[in-house]
Structure 1
Amino acid sequence: MSSNATGNTRTQSSHAVSDTQDEFKVMGSALTTKKLVIIHPGSKHLRIGRASDVNPHTILHAIARPRRKNGPLHRDPVLIPTVVLSKENKVLVDETYQSMRGTLQSCLRSDGTPRPATSVQQVATSNKQCTPIQGSISKLQLVTKSEVEDYIIGDQVLYAHPMDQFNVHFPFRHGDLNIHSGVGGSLSSVLADLETIWGHCIVNLLEIPKSELKHYRAVLVIPDIYNRLFLKELVSLLLTHLGFGGCFLLQDHVAATFGAGLGAACVVDLGDQKTSVSCVEDALSQRATRIRLDYGGSDITQSFHYLLQRAGFPYKECQPQHPLDGALLTRIKEGYCHLNLDFCGLRDVNFVVERPGVSTLRYHVKVGDELLLAPLGLFNTEVFALTGQDKRGQGQANASGDPEDPHDANYLRETSRRAHKEALENQSASAASMDTAENSTNTGGQGEEDLVVDSLAADAAPDDQPQQQLLYSLDQAILHSIERCSSDEMKRRMYSCILLVGGGAKFEGLSTWLHNRLLLQIPFQFRPEQTEIIVGPKEMDPSMVAWKGAAIMSCLESAQELWIRPAEWKKIGVRLLRERAPFYW
């Protein structure tokens, strides 16, 4: 009986393993796309949905929790806050804007006629007589502590009652985990917030019970410049805490090329708080070409508000640090700002100010070249001194060691250095035995040894070295990234195809403006026959291209070997990422 029972158990176990493997093999079929959950977290928005969905659910990537009694208060702002400018910086910002106005005045429209510019005084005079039209009482309601059991998630965070003092957290800032010294800023707290937000969306938006997640698999879209420690924790979050039956990670720039259907491209991701550039070929992001700049749509919004204030903006009570005003300014920017030189003169801008429990106010204002000057900050980054933070370029830094992954790049580099040193010592010893002048031999050997060891220490492959930290404009960042490609042929391919994705790529005329800037700077020997700048491929929203690409890639037959299962992760751990990750670990 016992032998039969053992045999039956083994048979059942082998069947279970076989069934699991078969399930992984058929992941690309149409029937299983509903079992794939694609998660693309950003600094401001979270995009989540099934691979079978046409578009993902998009929500504010934030959580608000009631503050504990007498506990500390922490509120991450919706917009990157401005700083008080020094006299020198204020002069620099104003001079830069004045120079940009001069550039616009010298531009021609598409029909070759001069483009009439608008002045600050002209706009201010037009808005002097503007008075808001009072409407009905707003039906918006603030969310209070009494209505909340534990937390508020998504767009409802904007309506958290200020008197109730909620702690507001955005788990991602500037394209990375939002680790800080305040309350809720530890790694464990940020991961707990992510688990709550993602779990809430899975249950309430995707309507998947948590108990069923073991039958689903997740694809997590990560930044092109990543922190290995954070990735390890995110995989544990998906497999251990949320309970997915499998997952793999995919860099956002690689996902964007899949979404656009491109084999090779220089990908530019214009996010809310960061702009990143890298060159992607054959589904691999070239490490040396990655660069991240800590400015984005939020900085443009603050610049836009600065320009509106100088032009007599009639909504004097506007406070960008207030969540509802920050959201309002973002909507105005997205609806009206552009880089189309054919749109000139004063334009009507209409918006409604709505506050819970009070009458709505409808404004009809005039705005001129401010609509172009705000997004032109991407090419004149001096104006982003308004938001004050260090926005210099960052590359993929060398990874710190992980005790769970002893045979990493650091280990290989150290063992390689020791092997070279030992070989050199043996060579020096043999030379010493043959040379009668032992002292001179030892001196020569020591000098050569120092030379080799130093060169190895400095070698660390160019890809492993952080990029030089400079404040690049958008066009300069693209040129810098492509110049770090490994071959001249790759540089030509990258200059021929530039893909713009992210919410900041929606400004009309941005691709034309960028194209004209690049044509003047591309080195002659790398100049392609045609430079194509792609925005919104296949009529997609640029902010959803990476999510869509991840959904496409997850269904490919070649992607089935990338899946990491919970049992494997528990047994092998982070070393699996070295074997399975579709990028250089």
Structure 2
Amino acid sequence: MVGRKSGRALLREEGLQRTDNNLDLTTWPQVNMINQKNYYTDFLKRDDQILTFRLQAEENRNRMTKAARDRDRALAHGQNGLPYTEPDADVDDDMAMEDGAISEAYGSKTIVVHPGSQNLRLGLATDALPKTVPMVIARKAHESEAEADGAEPRPKRMKLDDGSWPTEPEKWFGEEFAAEYNTMAAEFRTYRRNNKRKVLPNSRELVVNWNTRTPPETIYEHNDPLRIDWTELPSDPGDAPDFFTGHAALRIPEKSNPRYRLYWPLQHGWLNEQDYSNKNLLYRDFFTIIEEAIKTQLGLRRKKDWAQYSCVLIIPDLYEKVLVSAVLQEMLRDFGFQRVCFIQESLAASFGAGYSISCIVDVGAQKTSICCVEEGMCVDQSRINLKYGGADVTETFIKMMLFDRLNYSDINLKRRHDWLLAEELKQKFCVMDDTNTSVMLFEFHLRAHGQNTRKYQWKAYDEPMLAPLGFFRPTIFDHSRKMLGRRSLIDGSKDLYDGTPNDPTTNSQLAILQSAAQNLPGAVVAKPSGPNAPGSIVPVSTPNRQQAVSAINRLHDLEGTPRSSVAGSPPPEESETPQPAAGDATPAVTYNSVQGPQPDTEVQDRTVPIMPIDQAILASIGAGAGNDDRRMRDFLGGIMVIGGGAKFPGFTTYLEQRLRVLMPNYGKEILIGPPPRELDPQVLVWKGGSVFAKLGRTNDSWIGQMEYDRLGARVLNYKCMWAW
């Protein structure tokens, strides 16, 4: 019988005994576990750890080093008999110093770009005034814009059951427009009587009778000294360019061979998703217009020279992050600019005017933005963006004249020459001063390609005054197509972590959306699917003054709600909670007990933000001032109206009167001042951008190529002057 073996003998015989002499399994150092109860890190908690700030500090060190070397060199030359002059601290390094003189003005290598829905304004920062280019591109197509959609004219005429138009122009635009127009006319007569003006009872009949009986006069081309130079196309259609931009696009004949169709990449301050079916083509047209304008208007034909230039982009106060990020990428990657920075429109206007505190009312062609600016910053909660402007006045003016039997009844704003004619008529004849309002005789010349010039004489009474009054009664405007196609191509920006929408919005804007969804007819577009037809409009009740004032008062409730709270905030009282209107017009604001008012993005993207401009101004100022009476008085005394959409004589005076009626306790403080130094209100925003471009080393918002290559669009979090 074999004896029992020890454990050590078994390990040796089985090969399990350890023979590595206690050597480690690897030469890599082993890190012990961290005591999670007591550890700390300062990663990305200091400014000197962030790339953008490190580059800025390095640039400052290099500037100081260069200044010290230049000083030593100048002192050395001074010992040799040359005088020494102390360098100017305000002079930037980019201004090359040669023999004590500046070789070129600072800003001569900086391009300032301000894109708008109707016009693009750009120029060098050293220019006195910008170049203005229509924000339009004409591309080859099977049919022109006037021939599309069954050649339906604009303004759209209502058709009978048999498909024909009514013989009476009073029925062309429906009963709602006729009722609104007649109501405005009656209120205008009452307004004139209260101002001790003479009112003739048969003024409208005199206008209708004259326009019905007066035919146009034909002027042959050789007798017309102001004939139009149309864009010439080559005789061979195959040699025709693929596109035209700017003024040349608007002067292409309607019946050209080949056909061209106009596209406006920006509409109502947004990317025009309605007329495009491809996102890439939309972006390409937007940047092509800017690129061609830089080449033709600034003379920079070679893109390889653009690397020597910087660019300042002026963006809306309530911008869209997707568009700003796309612009930043295009300007640095494709255009190849040396550096790029952004500035908001209202802030640029305050720079151009030199105001430290003001309420900026920017009335554009298709949008109106309102924002309070204080000490070089936009007051966040005061930003408002309304989707109407000068183009709505143009269309309404044409509808009113057609309603009163204008003898050029075939006018169609889809035709290029008719659209230019309508803009000319609005700029010449529309006023907001009833001093000289009476039955007056006007005339215009119609110039179309391939036709003799026709001279029209027509009479008007209150139409030139009532059309601009639409700013104070936006229900007269047509809002039916303003939200069509919204979010069909480009989604809104969303938070990287929780996926919630993070485009900037304000309590003021949300309150206007909420008020419009409940009280204004045609403000909410129906859902694309469901029992309602796509693009149909949900009818709701017409607002009264009490409803509008309550919408303004709700701003204080929304502003007073804390944005964050551990315990949570109670919801508003049931009596103050807005109730959804009939149909699909649900409120555009929901309430979160922790984060306060939150936008319902689905409804928000289908609601047209519209409100009378005087009430919107008070809503913006109320949100910007809060409960501070001093700030309220400062904003009311610093209202400045800019933009080309409201260049009507007497507009600011009439607006002051309306504001004093709404705010009788602040009647003496309300003051609307014109832009200083007799600046054109249309170019004031661009002028402010040019001032911002020449700030020199005090401007820390420039984004360079290396920063964008490493951080991408995230660099905007550190470089924007506002909370991105």
Structure 1-normalised TM-score?
Answer: 0.79
Aligned twin of 1:38: 112
Aligned twin of 1:158: 250
Check if 1:179 corresponds to 2:179: no
- Counterpart among 326, 333, 352 of residue 233 in structure 1: 326
Amino acid aligned to 2:230:
Q
Aligned twin of 1:511: 652
Aligned twin of 1:331: 424
- Please tell me whether the aligned partners of residues 154 and 412 of structure 2 are also in contact (alpha carbons under 8 angstroms): no
Aligned twin of 1:125: 209
Equivalents in 2 of 1:450, 1:476: separation in Å?
A: 35
The Cα shift of 1:96 comes to 2.5
Consecutive unaligned residues of structure 1, counting only runs of 5 or more, are 1-13, 392-397, 411-448
Amino acid aligned to 1:177:
L
The Cα shift of 1:262 comes to 1.0
- Please tell me whether the aligned partners of residues 303 and 335 of structure 2 are also in contact (alpha carbons under 8 angstroms): yes
- Please tell me whether the aligned partners of residues 74 and 168 of structure 1 are also in contact (alpha carbons under 8 angstroms): no
The Cα shift of 1:407 comes to 13
Aligned twin of 1:100: 184
- Please tell me whether the aligned partners of residues 81 and 387 of structure 1 are also in contact (alpha carbons under 8 angstroms): no
Amino acid aligned to 2:283:
L
Aligned twin of 2:610: 471
- Please tell me whether the aligned partners of residues 253 and 449 of structure 2 are also in contact (alpha carbons under 8 angstroms): no
Check if 1:90 corresponds to 2:166: no
Equivalents in 2 of 1:22, 1:365: separation in Å?
A: 71
- Please tell me whether the aligned partners of residues 412 and 418 of structure 2 are also in contact (alpha carbons under 8 angstroms): yes
Aligned twin of 1:276: 369
Aligned twin of 1:494: 635
The Cα shift of 1:42 comes to 0.5
Whose helix proportion is higher, 1 or 2?
A: 1
Aligned pair in 2 of structure 1 residues 345, 22: CA closer, same or farther (>3 Å)? farther
The Cα shift of 1:544 comes to 0.7
- Please tell me whether the aligned partners of residues 303 and 386 of structure 1 are also in contact (alpha carbons under 8 angstroms): no
Equivalents in 2 of 1:267, 1:306: separation in Å?
A: 30
- Please tell me whether the aligned partners of residues 146 and 414 of structure 2 are also in contact (alpha carbons under 8 angstroms): no
- Please tell me whether the aligned partners of residues 265 and 286 of structure 2 are also in contact (alpha carbons under 8 angstroms): yes
Equivalents in 2 of 1:522, 1:201: separation in Å?
A: 45
Check if 1:149 corresponds to 2:244: no
The Cα shift of 1:404 comes to 11
- Superposed, 1:167-206 pairs within 5 Å as 167-180=261-274, 182-183=276-277, 185-186=278-279, 188-206=280-298
Aligned twin of 1:66: 140
Aligned twin of 2:595: 460
- Superposed, 1:22-421 pairs within 5 Å as 25-26=92-93, 31-67=105-141, 81-83=154-156, 90-108=174-192, 113-114=197-198, 119-137=203-221, 140-144=229-233, 145-146=237-238, 148-163=240-255, 164-180=258-274, 182-183=276-277, 185-186=278-279, 188-208=280-300, 209-385=302-478, 389=482, 400-401=493-494, 403=496
Q: Deviations over 1:394-448 (max 9, x none)?
A: xxxx9743559999989xxxxxxxxxxxxxxxxxxxxxxxxxxxxxxxxxxxxxx
Equivalents in 2 of 1:462, 1:529: separation in Å?
A: 34
The Cα shift of 1:317 comes to 2.1
- Please tell me whether the aligned partners of residues 493 and 528 of structure 1 are also in contact (alpha carbons under 8 angstroms): no
Equivalents in 1 of 2:381, 2:249: separation in Å?
A: 39
Aligned pair in 2 of structure 1 residues 125, 153: CA closer, same or farther (>3 Å)? same
Equivalents in 2 of 1:582, 1:296: separation in Å?
A: 28
Q: Deviations over 1:284-335 (max 9, x none)?
A: 2222222212111111111111111122211122112212101111110011
Aligned twin of 1:424: none
Aligned length in residues:
521
- Please tell me whether the aligned partners of residues 51 and 552 of structure 1 are also in contact (alpha carbons under 8 angstroms): yes
- More off after superposition, 481-490 vs 502-511: 481-490
Equivalents in 2 of 1:519, 1:300: separation in Å?
A: 24
Aligned twin of 2:723: 584
Equivalents in 2 of 1:149, 1:20: separation in Å?
A: 52
Equivalents in 1 of 2:327, 2:498: separation in Å?
A: 16
Aligned twin of 2:28: none
Q: What secondary structure sits across from 2:435 in the alignment?
A: coil
Amino acid aligned to 2:595:
A
Q: Deviations over 1:230-263 (max 9, x none)?
A: 1011111111111111111111111111112211
Aligned twin of 2:712: 573
Aligned twin of 2:696: 557
Structure 2-normalised TM-score?
Answer: 0.65
The Cα shift of 1:493 comes to 1.7
- Please tell me whether the aligned partners of residues 492 and 501 of structure 2 are also in contact (alpha carbons under 8 angstroms): no
- More off after superposition, 127-136 vs 88-97: 88-97
Aligned twin of 1:420: none
Consecutive unaligned residues of structure 2, counting only runs of 5 or more, are 1-57, 68-90, 96-101, 160-170, 222-226, 485-490, 504-564, 572-590
The Cα shift of 1:558 comes to 5.9
Q: Deviations over 1:343-394 (max 9, x none)?
A: 2112232211111222111222222111101101111111113755469xxx
Amino acid aligned to 1:532:
L
Equivalents in 2 of 1:264, 1:221: separation in Å?
A: 20
Amino acid aligned to 2:218:
Q
Matched residues, percent identical?
A: 26
Equivalents in 2 of 1:518, 1:232: separation in Å?
A: 38
Amino acid aligned to 1:170:
W
Aligned pair in 2 of structure 1 residues 359, 297: CA closer, same or farther (>3 Å)? same
Aligned pair in 2 of structure 1 residues 162, 255: CA closer, same or farther (>3 Å)? same
Q: What secondary structure sits across from 1:38 in the alignment?
A: strand
Aligned pair in 2 of structure 1 residues 47, 80: CA closer, same or farther (>3 Å)? farther
- Please tell me whether the aligned partners of residues 135 and 359 of structure 1 are also in contact (alpha carbons under 8 angstroms): yes
Alignment RMSD (CA, Å): 4.0
Aligned pair in 2 of structure 1 residues 565, 81: CA closer, same or farther (>3 Å)? farther
Aligned pair in 2 of structure 1 residues 117, 234: CA closer, same or farther (>3 Å)? farther
- Please tell me whether the aligned partners of residues 353 and 688 of structure 2 are also in contact (alpha carbons under 8 angstroms): yes
- Please tell me whether the aligned partners of residues 214 and 244 of structure 1 are also in contact (alpha carbons under 8 angstroms): yes
